[in-house]
Every structure is written in C-alpha cells, then in structure tokens.
A = this chain, B = another copy of it.
C-alpha cells in the first residue's frame, strides 16, 4: 500500500494538475443590456425580456441557468447523464437560482458560494474532481440577475435609489463550461484549452464597509491571490498574456495594479477585468463596470475563450473576485470581506 497520494500541491496555496482538465464546451446566456455591450455578438443567447417570461426575478435567473446548461450540453453533444457532477452557485440567499435552475438536470450536485468569485471556485473544484479521477466530466455554472441582485443586496428597483459612481452594475447572465478528462476531448483542429493549475483564495478583510464600492472591497483579495499564484508557480506577470479579474471595475482595477506595483509586480500592461470588458463605459451608464457571478462567467465563456481559441492569448490567469456580504451583514454594520480564486487557463 502506498503511504499517500502523489502531491499536486505547489507553493503555499496552489495546485498544479497532473493531467490538466480540458474545457470541452462553454455557453453564455445574457440579458438585453449585456447584448448591447461590446461583447454582445459573442454571447450564445441574448434575452430581450428581463423576466424571461417568468413571474419573478428569481425564476428569471433560474431560467438563465436552464438555458446556459442546455446550451453547453448541446454544444458538447452530450446529455445530462454524461455529466458526473454539477458544481455551481449564484448570489441569491440559499442559492435558489441554482437549485431551481438545475434541478431538472438530475446531475449529482455540489452547491458552492464564493459571491462573484463563484465561477472561479466552480472551475477550481471541477478541475480537481477530474484530475483526481473522481469525475469524467463536470459542469461548472453560475448566474446573476441585475434585478434579483438589487433586491437581494440593495433596494428593490421600484425604490429608484441613486447609484454612486463607485457602484457596479450586476450582470444579467449565466455562463457554463464543461470540464473533462483529456481522453474525452474531441479533436476539432482548434487549440486544446486546459486548466493548468489553480490558486484558491483566502478571505481578505481590509475593513471596507461600503457595499456601493465593492471594487475596493475585492481588490485586496485579488491582489493576495495573484501575488500568491506568481510566487507559488515562480513566474512573473509577463508569463501570462492576460491577467483577468472578475468584477473589480475601474476603481478596483486601479487599486489592484497599485498594490501589486508596491510588490514589484507590474500587471498594468496585461491586466483587464470582466466588469470593464462587458459594458461600454461611455454609453451604457454602468458607472464602475459590471459585476455579479454572471459577469466573469459570461465574459469567460464568450470573449476570453474566443481570444484563446483564435490564438490571441495562450496563457490567461482568470481570477473571479467576490465580496462576502449579505443584506443582513451590511445592515448590521459589518465589513465587506473579499475572496478571489485564480484559474490558470492555457492553450496547447
């Protein structure tokens, strides 16, 4: 008997996969506003009706998940029974968008919560399940909905509150990827996109209490995770063609770049943020940018993967960022801790 398993741990908080899992399919479903943004033409489905024909915002968000999961299965040519685990979550209390969105799929499910970092957590856990031999194929999925998130975290839309310029706009959308063991890859002529490693974030709390400035609350978490990824793998920022955070927005981006500069890491030339890419700053009135579990998920499954498939980027560090607050914690005067999970996505 072996005295243990072969370690895939690297550095303080990272994993280097032995047989890097592959992304065999991805799908994105968004709302109308996202469809009108710079990435609009890259989404698989754009829904004009914010209610998606449902009676509540929560049901509408579940419908986004139903559509993104159906679409990704269709694109992969797979059935629900071909998927060993579903790993996913959303922003709503007790993950009800996910529970009611994916229940009909009848896939063994691991519900997760990392606020807007959830897509990074889903892809991290999914990759470990595959590289560990626990699954052949994993569906990683998240969603968010602008109106549902405003109701959950801030005010109902009918209240008509004013949004400060530091506020972000929660993306209405759901993104889904299917991760698979390499042997299930269909050779298509396109580059093989693999998950080379991950860096799992710690909770970072700098004491920021403004839920209307989540970029500032999350930037320190992104900083810690990126720095640790570079240290654990012994690489410089230039190793990556792009370092892409989830939803820091314009304010958080500047804080992140400054914090890394103080540690002699310069990411100013190769950093971007899904929340910045998804909306047009001048014409779409989204203030600091996009946010939400859906923001990084739909940007990854459309724009980022397209750039990688086309060879524009070969190595991407994808770092969805989350703000760990609730309406209750905010009303009780607690701070807004952040967390960020990094996924190393590379083409072969």
Contacts and interface: CB of A to CB of B under 8 A. Distances in A.
Contacts of A55: 332
Contact of A132 (B5, B95, B115, B203): B5
A255 interface: no
Given A15-B134, A112-B110, A99 B6 contact: no
A31 interface: no
A94 B8 CA distance: 30
B9 A134 contact: yes
Contacts of A2: 19
A35 interface: no
A183 B5 CA distance: 9
A128 B131 contact: no
Contact of A130 (B1, B5, B201): B5
Interface stretch (A43-51, A159-167, A300-308, A320-328): A320-328
A108 B201 contact: yes
Interface string A10-29: 00010100110000000000
A60 B41 CA distance: 49
A113 B95 contact: yes
A182 B85 contact: no
A-side interface size class: 35 or more
B202 A109 contact: yes
A339 B7 CA distance: 32
Most B Cβ at <10 Å: residue of A102, A113, A152, A183: A113
A150 interface: no
A155 to B, nearest CB: 15
Most B Cβ at <10 Å: residue of A94, A108, A109: A94
Nearest to A136: B9
Most B Cβ at <10 Å: residue of A124, A132, A339: A132
Interface of A: 1-9, 13, 15, 18-19, 55-56, 58-59, 84-85, 89, 91-96, 99-100, 102-103, 106-115, 121, 124-125, 128-136, 152, 181-183, 200-203, 205, 324-329, 332, 334, 337, 339
Top-5 shortest CB links A-B = A132-B132, A93-B93, A94-B326, A108-B200, A103-B203
Given A59-B332, A99-B329, A111-B339, 14 more contacts: A5-B131, A8-B132, A55-B332, A56-B332, A94-B113, A94-B324, A100-B334, A102-B203, A108-B200, A108-B201, A110-B124, A128-B134, A129-B132, A131-B132
